[in-house]
Structures are given as C-alpha cells and as structure tokens.
Amino acid sequence: MQRRMEQNQADRADGDERYLALLGDRVRGARARRGMTRKILSAESGVSERYLAQLESGQGNVSIILLRQIAAAMHLPLSELVQDGPDRPVEMALILEQLAALNNDDLADLHRHLRLRYAPEAGQSGRIALIGLRGAGKSTLGRALAQRLALPFVQLDKQIEEKAGMGLDEIFDLLGRAAYRRLERQCLEQVIESHPRAVLVTGGGLVTEPGTYERLLSSCYTIWLRAAPEAHMARVAAQGDQRPMAGNREAMQDLHRILDGRESLYRKADASLDTTARTQAACLDELVGMVPKAAHGDR
C-alpha cells in the first residue's frame, strides 16, 4: 500500500511537471504568434520578465497545479473554471467534447463546412483581403490590384489610425495592444459595412485574434501573401520599420518564430501567393487570376 501511494505521488509529480512544461510552451507560442517580445508582454501584463521566463521554462506558479487538481476532481476541463464571462451553454460543452475527438484534418474540413454553411457569401464576396507579415508586399500589390480591378483600396491600419486620432506607435505606447485589437475589429466591421467591393490590406497580427480573423474569412476572399524570412526582413528594413523587432538582437530568430507560429493561421486563407524573388508585375498578374469574378469592378 505504501509503495502504491508513493508511486501515485511520483506519477502525479511527473504529470504536474509535464503540464507546467506544456503551459510554458503555450505561453511562449502565443507570444510568438503575436510578435511580442518577453519585455513587451511584461510591460503590458504587469508580470515581471523574470516570472515570464520561469513560466515559459516550465517553472510556473504551483497554484495552477492546485486548480488543475480541483478541476480534475470534478471531472471538468480547467478552462471551465478559469474562463472569463458566464458559463458556456450546454450545447457548446457537448460540441467541444465532440471536437476533441477529431484530428487536425477533420477539424479543418469541419471549419470549411461551417464557413460554407453559415458564411456562404465569402467565396462570392466582392472584397479581397490580403493578409501576411509586413514585407510580403501587401500594400504595394494591394494598391496595384485595386487599380487593375477598379476597386477601392483600404488599408486597415490607416482606418485604425484615423479612428484613434494617432499613429500606430502611439496607439501601442499609450493605449496598449488590447485597445489596438478592439479598434482593429471595429474598423473591420466598418469596412465590411461600407465596402461591398474593395481590396483590403490588414495588419500581420490580425490572424491571432480568432473572432476578428473569422469575421475576415467569412466576409472576404482572403489571400495570404508570403515570402521567405530573409525577404521579409530586407523589405521591412528598406521601409525603415523594424516593429516588432526593434532593439532586438535576435531579430531573424524572432521572425522565424513568428512565421512558424502563424503559418497554420495564414493557411486558412482561400489562396496564397509567394512573392519571394519575383517582380511586382508577375505577382500582380497571378494575383488578378486568383480573384473571384464577383470582385471585379466596373472597368
């Protein structure tokens, strides 16, 4: 009996270590997808960089382990206890249980089915949205595409700046990242409402906000403009804009981490175009060929 108890305690300790390591990986991955350095996350969360480093290395606060044990004793997922807002409807809980049994391919198929079922206008939309990291050619090709198709050209970041009455750097410095994301969603809704046809260029991090990204996917024909990391870095440097790598000695490593973290999100787009080592004219011709007929303006 004593040996069994000791073995159970050892198994629990091993499970706790694995959970804290997984939690650290999730925090680090979520930070990377958002292009946030540990210093930025520390400033915006009020949590010290030292603690964030411990958390990401699998040395998080033991309190989360205790809460996890409480949830397990009640046969509840931990998310049920720590979620914000009211309890989920019972239907949502049942759906989540079913989703947990699906593999990634099945989940992707289901997502496509739901988009066709509940947002059938996306494929026939007159709105073209270009997504991707800064330096992929979104603004240059977006403007040229809009001119070729005789469509309005809309840069979501410009809309955000106009709504806030300040530049992006000031928004992040004075209002914070959360405020920027709220403005981003509000401006996207305004663009959808006011532009039945348009070429829309979004910020690179929009895809990390599930609600905003799903709204974009369901209301626009979305094209991912991608490029090799070296091409991204060279183009951003040529623009004189190093965000979010400013002051970071490991800029290229961070860029790879951001691309890796967001690739599965960008792949949800309806189409993709690699702009690496290609002329603007060649990219534009291919881009025009991807656009649904509904988006062609009166020319």
| CATH code assigned at 186 | 3.40.50.300
Question: Does the residue 96 lie in any domain?
Answer: no
Residue 109 in 3-state DSSP? Answer: helix
* 145 shares its domain with 261: yes
* 127 shares its domain with 56: no
The predicted pLDDT at position 84 comes to 62
User: Distance (Å, rounded) from C-alpha 212 to C-alpha 206?
Assistant: 7
Average pLDDT over residues 269-277: 92
The predicted pLDDT at position 255 comes to 81
Identify the residue whose tokens are 């996917």. 217
Give whole-number Cα distances, 274 to 206, 216, 223, 258, 269, in Å. 19, 21, 11, 17, 13
The predicted pLDDT at position 86 comes to 72
* 25 shares its domain with 172: no
User: Distance (Å, rounded) from C-alpha 221 to C-alpha 269?
Assistant: 8
The predicted pLDDT at position 164 comes to 93
Question: Does the residue 76 lie in any domain?
Answer: no
The predicted pLDDT at position 67 comes to 66
**pLDDT above 60: residue 289:** yes
Question: Does the residue 221 lie in any domain?
Answer: yes
Residue at a domain's end among 61, 83, 102: 61
Question: Does the residue 91 lie in any domain?
Answer: no
108 exposed, middle or buried (CB, 10 Å; 0-12, 13-18, 19+)? middle
CB of 207 closer than 8 Å to CB of 131: yes
* 265 shares its domain with 178: yes
CB of 71 closer than 8 Å to CB of 78: yes
* 128 shares its domain with 269: yes
The predicted pLDDT at position 127 comes to 93
Average pLDDT over residues 11-27: 76
* 152 shares its domain with 289: yes
The predicted pLDDT at position 64 comes to 77
Residue at a domain's end among 44, 61, 78: 61
Q: Which of 62, 221, 231 is nearest to 140 (CA)?
A: 231
* 54 shares its domain with 159: no
**pLDDT above 60: residue 246:** no
Question: Does the residue 53 lie in any domain?
Answer: yes
* 12 shares its domain with 145: no
What is this structure's pTM? 0.75
The predicted pLDDT at position 20 comes to 80
Q: What is the pLDDT of residues 188-236, one digit of tens each?
A: 999 999 999 999 999 999 999 989 999 999 899 999 999 888 877 777 7
Q: Provide the domain limits for residue 54.
A: 2-61
**pLDDT above 80: residue 275:** yes
Q: How far is CA 81 from the centre of its chain?
A: 25
* 144 shares its domain with 276: yes
Q: Which of 245, 240, 158 is nearest to 201 (CA)?
A: 158
* 129 shares its domain with 274: yes
The predicted pLDDT at position 253 comes to 79
Q: What is the pLDDT of residues 87-103, one digit of tens each?
A: 778 788 788 888 888 88
| Mean pLDDT, rounded, of the chain | 82
Question: Does the residue 92 lie in any domain?
Answer: no
Question: Does the residue 70 lie in any domain?
Answer: no
Q: What is the pLDDT of residues 111-120, one digit of tens each?
A: 878 877 776 5
* 30 shares its domain with 144: no
The set of residues, in sequence order, having a beta carbon less than 8 Å from that of 83 and lying 6+ positions away, is none
| CATH code assigned at 17 | 1.10.260
User: Distance (Å, rounded) from C-alpha 211 to C-alpha 181?
Assistant: 11
Tell me the Ramachandran region of residue 176: left when phi exceeds 0, alpha when psi lies from -120 to 50, beta otherwise: left
* 27 shares its domain with 149: no
Identify the residue whose tokens are 């270009």. 130
The total number of structural domains in the chain stands at 2
Q: What is the pLDDT of residues 120-161, one digit of tens each?
A: 555 556 899 999 988 889 999 999 999 999 999 999 999 999
Question: Does the residue 88 lie in any domain?
Answer: no
The predicted pLDDT at position 235 comes to 74
132 exposed, middle or buried (CB, 10 Å; 0-12, 13-18, 19+)? buried
215 exposed, middle or buried (CB, 10 Å; 0-12, 13-18, 19+)? middle
Residue at a domain's end among 17, 43, 61: 61
